[in-house]
Structure 1
């Protein structure tokens, strides 16, 4: 049985933000795959640009409040904060 510390539990707001990021990431990836076979589709291009911009904003807002989402992102603080978030199996 896993033990959960208070520090590792996600708040409702944090979980909601993370869910929104996951939805946008899926939409951007799906549209990118579609654009691989339909590169001149203006609606898909517009949606990809819109969702990619939203995804960037949501990620920036999440990381500013809760720390990095990925260990590949540049760390701007004086400590390695990536390990402070719960692991996917702890959510």
Structure 2
């Protein structure tokens, strides 16, 4: 439960981040707009880790750390999706 609850809580924002990045890429937005959801996701994950480590501590703080880890994974995937150029062929 300690691992699955933060993972399940990170799926919804992670899917939103991935869908936004994919939609921005599909609509041919600029490079910085395509990378924005991934960067915002990484900043949010770092903030969650900081809150869990400094303010909350203990087992609940570890849950925040696990949540931030999964959010960072989703954000890096979004950065990779947004970085690749769209093939128009």
TM-score (norm 2): 0.40
Larger radius of gyration: 1
Specify which structure has the higher proportion of helix: 2
1 or 2 for the larger relative contact order (CA 8 Å, sep ≥6)? 2
TM-score (norm 1): 0.39
